[in-house]
Amino acid sequence: MENKMMYATVPYVDKPVSRILFGTAMQPFMTNGNGNDLLDAVYDAGVTTFDTARNYMAAEQSLGRWIEEKNMRDKIVLLSKCGHPSMFGKKRVNEKEMKKDLGRSLKYLRTDYIDIYLLHRDDREMNVGEIVETFNGMHAEGKIGAFGGSNWTHRRIEEANEYAYKHNLIPFSVSSPNFGLADQMEDPWGGGCVTISGPENEEAREWYRKNQMPVVAYSSLGRGLFSGKLRSSDAENAGKILDANAMKGYGYPENFERLRRCELLAAAKGVIVPQIAMAWIFRQNMNMFAVVSTSKPERMRENIEALRIELTQEECEYLDLRREAL
């Protein structure tokens, strides 16, 4: 089978990183089930980079077993995250908690290093210097490669990197905000989720275009909004298909109009809705990567094929409601 995946280099990662990452925040991984067949299939499709996190329940354990049983560690890129608030909302962005999370992740993933390590949230009361110093210590010990932030604003990343440059340290080199065609209108989970989607976040997108920092987009298909399971004409029943977090973040008229336009353009091009939404992400002149979770290998192959679907600037603007018609 022809490998249609695209790959890129990321600073401080010594293996090619697939432009689409497989996300393990799903079953059977979160309940420590056996997902080996699915992992084999997405790897065979060209996905070499796997996204997980310390707070994705037992996802690291499940992924770690596959890595060990199939001897995959040298063939794949691992991305994991630390410092997520506790279930009681206690902030955990500090050296002690970051190191605790790293130790557990290394154990559960059955490895001695993580290629890309991110803070899952930010604590804006925390001095960025301690965070940068902590990450650099982990890197110096060979326990992590690249590092950065998930749900960090571009301004906080810039502040962290200014500290790194002034102190001759390694800077943040990866960011993982929400990004996709769907505008995240409200924080789906609470606790400081950051999006760079929507008209109000053009400044952030322009910063990423200028700096070309790798952007690992989560909820890239609007948490199922653009999965193809939901039709724009059936918006009133969306809550039967999308979960409560998806409805809170993305279930708004503007996004159903984006879905309608995806349907029209998909029909015109002879492709499917998720492929149009995925193609749109990779036509934004940013250094894009996208996290995709799916239980069906054929869906992953369709997302990979979308990397090569061409969209004009006019089509991109139309899909994002910045142009009335084509």
User: How does DSSP assign 224-263, residue by residue?
Assistant: GTTSSSS-GGGGGGGGGTS-HHHHHHH-SHHHHHHHHHHH
Calculate mean pLDDT across residues 14-21: 98
Is residue 81's pLDDT more than 90? yes
For 140-162, write each residue's pLDDT tens digit.
Answer: 999 999 999 999 999 999 999 99
Q: Is residue 116 part of a domain?
A: yes
Take residue 40 and report the two structure tokens written for it.
């084999």
Take residue 39 and report the two structure tokens written for it.
């992992």
Task: Tell me whether strands 7-8 and 17-18 are parallel, antiparallel or unpaired.
Answer: antiparallel
Element at 140 (helix H, strand E): helix 128-140
Question: What is the rounded distance in angstroms from the CA atom of residue 312 to the CA atom of residue 326?
Answer: 10
Range of the domain at 303: 7-319
From start to end of the chain, where are the E strands? 7-8, 17-18, 20-23, 49-51, 77-82, 114-119, 144-150, 174-176, 215-217, 288-292
Q: Is residue 84 part of a domain?
A: yes
Is residue 5's pLDDT more than 90? yes
Is residue 305's pLDDT more than 80? yes
Is residue 205's pLDDT more than 90? yes
Calculate mean pLDDT across residues 225-232: 95
Task: Tell me whether strands 114-119 and 77-82 are parallel, antiparallel or unpaired.
Answer: parallel
DSSP string, 294-307: -S-HHHHHHHHHHT
Question: What is the rounded distance in angstroms from the CA atom of residue 42 to the CA atom of residue 53?
Answer: 19
Calculate mean pLDDT across residues 191-201: 94
Q: Is residue 324 part of a domain?
A: no
Helix (H, G, I), strand (E, B) or coil at 195: strand
pLDDT of residue 259: 98
Question: What is the rounded distance in angstroms from the CA atom of residue 184 to the CA atom of residue 255?
Answer: 9
* Cα distances (angstroms) measured from residue 30 to each of 25, 59, 307: 6, 4, 28
Residue 12: CB atoms within 10 A of its CB come to 16
Q: Which residue has tokens 């004409």?
A: 233
**Around 284, how many Cα atoms within 13 Å sit in the side-chain half-sphere?**
30
| Backbone dihedral angles phi then psi of residue 290, each to the nearest 5 degrees | -135, 135
Q: DSSP class of residue 31?
A: G
Q: Is residue 326 part of a domain?
A: no
CA-based nearest residue to 316, from 283, 272, 287, 274: 283
Question: What is the rounded distance in angstroms from the CA atom of residue 291 to the CA atom of residue 41?
Answer: 16
| Backbone dihedral angles phi then psi of residue 243, each to the nearest 5 degrees | -80, 175
Calculate ∠ Cα 272-277-281, nearest 5°.
145
Calculate mean pLDDT across residues 4-27: 97
Q: Is residue 104 part of a domain?
A: yes
pLDDT of residue 1: 64
Is residue 199's pLDDT more than 70? yes
Calculate mean pLDDT across residues 33-62: 98
Is residue 164's pLDDT more than 70? yes
Domains in the chain: how many in total? 1
Q: Is residue 179 part of a domain?
A: yes
Q: Is residue 227 part of a domain?
A: yes
CATH code: domain of residue 57: 3.20.20.100
Q: Is residue 2 part of a domain?
A: no
Instruction: Provide the whole-model pTM.
Output: 0.96
Take residue 175 and report the two structure tokens written for it.
């960011």
**pLDDT above 70 as % of the chain:** 100
**Around 309, how many Cα atoms within 13 Å sit in the side-chain half-sphere?**
25
